[in-house]
A and B are shown apart, each in its own frame.
Chain A
């Protein structure tokens, strides 16, 4: 993913989040998003992260962070103990996204999910004409070194929310040059949803 897409996404997420709310970021990396939210919205931030090196970065930013796997890290939290739970660019890398999303919806009043859209035209183009698994700016990995375990599109996620009766409150679709309004499943690189 390009830095620009990430910046745009972070700004959208920051706009959605209420001032002084509590936020749990699952797979928070080095805490880039959380520190933006702390700065802009004065949130009470907690991250969960698997990478030890990323933990050091978070602590240097003054973020409270727990070093563990999010696939079993949520069972300690009480129901609805956070205003927001964020699953940004993590969702596609976990073994059981359905379980984690379910847990996120249990501990969070609202959940923000952001993931690269596998049905972006560039991916479709590469599969169709190259006959190879796509390598794009939002998924810059070869088949043998990708951390992505699940590939989903914007429509896939919407379908899933329909089946599971998950309410989509807000959504945003992001392409190379900012927000995508037209045919997002074709033109957006990232989909971000606020669900409850």
Chain B
């Protein structure tokens, strides 16, 4: 196990009776899968909520007994790391609609005794956050030291600010937006179409039969292209090929082709196709301000913000983070913004560990110092 790891961890489950959704439908009962690292202090003032991205889960750090890979943000969570588990109590939960232990389309619908499939209600980012609030209440935490996440995780962070401004001292939205652009919606839709055009998808009724693996795999391949940058692909693969001489055939021969295929194939082993549809839809529906102006949504927020974006991220470009910064200025919200130089594209939020650690560590120290006052 890596040095400074939180060690062996287990996923826990929190159950509650019902959740009223934005669609007015009721989801019941609800299970939230979550993990925690570190120790909650006496006055419960050291809690940090981590929000995962589209295909993430509650396993953010440490290792599971039966797996050899650590959690998805292990580089940032642990003793001495950005989210220092010697100081902080770190929580990460799987979103509802997901497929990693929280209630989602692959769960059993108690009304029918069968898997939900497409009878699962449409969920929104606000619904995900509403469910997390119940978990936080259950843990007895009144005020979170910070809520942090990248990409879809960042949307949840922003939603926390809008829905429960009094329940957090600070927020760290990373590589995110207050609403998807047409380009982002377009990429989501191509991913969904890939899933739905797989004959194995069967209108979402594939449980107990063959899964729409090809479709979901193609969706993931498209996703991966958007998470990288032109430069990072050139650096990682170049035009290197398995074949010495150019061969005209349609099996993957370029390294980049093999990589995408590998990524697609390994993704389908761990992710549910319907969850992919539901969650990407929630991303597209997300519009934090709606009819309002964004600075009106932020008015009166006393939490401090640390907003981060990455130079080569073309999926969630910096201008979208700057819109958040601008609204903070207008609303008089205390915000720090940094566009971190990186060539990794959108993936940078998982990879630029050193820069993020420096910024987040100091930012949290400042937040804590003001909390003490």
Contact = CB atoms under 8 A, between A and B. Distances in A.
Nearest to A107: B329
Nearest to A74: B329
Nearest to A46: B334
Contacts of A55: 336, 338, 359
A56 B358 contact: yes
B322 interface: yes
A148 interface: no
A66 B341 contact: no
Interface in A20-67: 46, 52, 55-56, 58-60, 62, 64-67
Interface of B is mostly: helix
A60 B358 contact: yes
A52 B339 contact: yes
Contacts of B330: 76-78
A59 B322 contact: no
B147 to A, nearest CB: 18
A66 B336 contact: yes
A46 B332 CA distance: 11
A68 B322 contact: yes
B366 interface: yes
B72 interface: no
B354 to A, nearest CB: 10
B29 to A, nearest CB: 43
A92 B326 CA distance: 26
A76 B326 contact: yes
B267 interface: no
Contact of A66 (B304, B325, B366): B325
Contact of B338 (A46, A52, A62): A52
Interface centre among B329, B337, B339, B365 (most CB of A within 10 A): B329
A59 B336 contact: yes
B26 interface: no
Given A76-B325, A78-B330, A81-B332, A66 B359 contact: no
A173 to B, nearest CB: 34
Given A56-B359, A60-B358, 13 more contacts: A46-B334, A52-B340, A55-B359, A58-B336, A59-B338, A62-B362, A62-B365, A64-B336, A66-B335, A76-B326, A76-B330, A77-B330, A78-B330
Interface string B316-333: 000000100111011010
B369 interface: yes
Contact of B362 (A46, A60, A76, A77): A60
26 contacts: A52-B339, A52-B340, A55-B336, A55-B338, A55-B359, A56-B338, A56-B358, A58-B336, A59-B358, A59-B362, A60-B358, A60-B362, A62-B369, A64-B304, A64-B334, A65-B337, A66-B337, A67-B339, A68-B322, A68-B325, A68-B337, A75-B326, A76-B330, A77-B330, A78-B330, A81-B332
Interface string A112-144: 000000000000000000000000000000000
A67 B365 contact: no
Contacts of A81: 332
Interface residues of A, number: 18
A68 B329 CA distance: 13
Contacts of A46: 334
Contacts of B329: 66, 76-77
A196 B337 CA distance: 28
A64 to B, nearest CB: 5
B73 interface: no
Contacts of A67: 337-339
Interface centre among A52, A62, A64, A77 (most CB of B within 10 A): A64
Contacts of A64: 304, 334-336
A104 B336 CA distance: 19
Contacts of B363: 59
Contacts of B326: 75-76
A55 B369 CA distance: 20
A59 B325 contact: no
B311 to A, nearest CB: 9
Nearest to B305: A64
Can you list the 6 inter-chain pairs with the closest CB atoms, starting with the nearest?
A76-B329, A76-B326, A62-B366, A67-B338, A66-B337, A55-B338
Contacts of B336: 55, 58-59, 64-66
B355 interface: yes
A68 B321 CA distance: 12
A78 B358 CA distance: 31
Contacts of A65: 336-338
Nearest to B330: A76
A30 to B, nearest CB: 13
A59 B334 contact: no
